Amino acid sequence: MRIGVPKEIKNHEYRVGLTPAAVAELVNNGHQVCVEDQAGVGVGFFNEDYEAAGATILGTADAIFEAAELIVKVKEPQAVERARLKPHHTLFTYLHLAPDVPQTNDLINSGATCIAYETVTDAHGRLPLLAPMSEVAGRMSIQAGARCLEKSMEGRGMLLGGVPGVEPAKVVIIGAGVVGQNATAMAVGMGANVVVLDRSVDALRKLDAQYGNRVRTVYSTALSIEQHVLSADLVIGGVLLPGAAAPKLITKALVEKMKPGSVIVDVAIDQGGCAETAKATTHAEPTYIVDDVVHYCVANMPGAVARTSTLALNNATLPYVLQIANKGARKALEDNPHLLEGLNVCKGIVTCESVAEAQNLAYKPAAEMVKEI
């Protein structure tokens, strides 16, 4: 199969879809890989590294899309990239379609087969291609939040862990999934006063067993969210409904009553955010203020630690890329029901029910549409 790796063009996005090591695996399996000029330079992978692995370097994104059948990316395709997609293409990347109507419409119109990392599952119902970036984002959320609490960022002027004789900041983490677990690890390590809310008692029990009295675990209700958010210095939004828009658990009315200079880091922003006041920001301009509350809502947080993120993501995605390349998209999807869960748009039809519901679009099950590839 002919596989293409374009350079990412989202604001301050330095990750790359395939590392040279991943390219070598694909070439060793008999596939042709073309990589856009300087696609990996932001993470320290140069054209010579890709050429040594067996890739062909092409000068433009147009050339990559023209040459390839399978397009492997990191972030959702931007408008100029979506215009390059054709019906013979298979796109494998993060999509986060539920809150993104323009992207969904463009992918439908392209006729391409579009597989989203974030809805691929495993035998245990987990999200193996989302997990590594959720781990990174969860850990980064505490770093970002600690920075935003500084006075120069219009925060409360607090040190997350405090000092002897001065109380630490209160960190409230909404969601005890992968993001929440990793945010908790960092917040505890920095000495913060940590509260985690979730509706899964099993998830809360796991954190309690791991951290004991260093973390307070609370069952999540509208009332408990309000109680703890209002007393928080830093709130981490780490709620995920696979493929669907994030629930708005932090209302505008609640933000109005939060402490001046407190901080919200909304890790769920890729799926629309779990705060009503959340809007996507970039690494160039990561924060804004609403009702004296600092909002950090960067939609590609792991892009800031691009090398770590690229390596972690490739570890997870390479087996699936190999399946698609070795078998062809149709057979790979037919043979692997967990990969099939990742099929979001196929031949002009939405095949992810959560996306269709979020945007009131026609829907057909992926198992039916895969026959059209």
Asked about 295 being catalytic, the answer comes back as no
Q: Which of 96, 228, 295, 338 is catalytic?
A: 96
How far, in Å, CA of 366 to CA of 370, rounded? 6
3-state class (DSSP) for residue 263: strand
Distance in angstroms (rounded) separating the CA atoms of residues 57 and 37: 6
Per residue in 210-248, is it b (16+ CB within 10 Å) or e — as a string? Answer: ebeebbbbbebeeeebbebbeebbbbbbbbbebbbbbbb
Please provide the DSSP assignment of 299-331 as one string.
Answer: TTGGGGGHHHHHHHHHHHHHHHHHHHHHH-HHH
Question: Residue 118 in contact with residue 130, Cβ under 8 Å?
Answer: yes
Structure token pair of residue 52? 């040594």
**88 catalytic per annotation:** no
Strand intervals (E) in the chain:
2-5, 32-36, 56-58, 70-72, 90-93, 113-116, 170-174, 193-198, 215-219, 234-237, 263-266, 287-290, 293-296, 343-346, 349-350
Partners of 112 in the β-ladder? none
Residue 75 one-letter amino acid: K
Of the residues 31, 270, 295, 338, only one is catalytic, namely 270
Specify whether the CB–CB gap between 118 and 129 falls below 8 A: yes
Which residue do the tokens 């109005």 mark?
256
Give the list of residues 6+ apart from residue 212 with CB closer than 8 angstroms, or none: none
Residue 190's contacts (CB-CB under 8 Å, 6 or more residues apart) are 142, 146, 160, 161
Hey, is 203 helix, strand or coil? Answer: helix
User: Rounded to an integer, what distance in angstroms lies between the CA atom of residue 177 and that of residue 157?
Assistant: 29
Looking at residue 124, the DSSP 8-state letter turns out to be: T
Annotated active-site positions, please? 96, 270
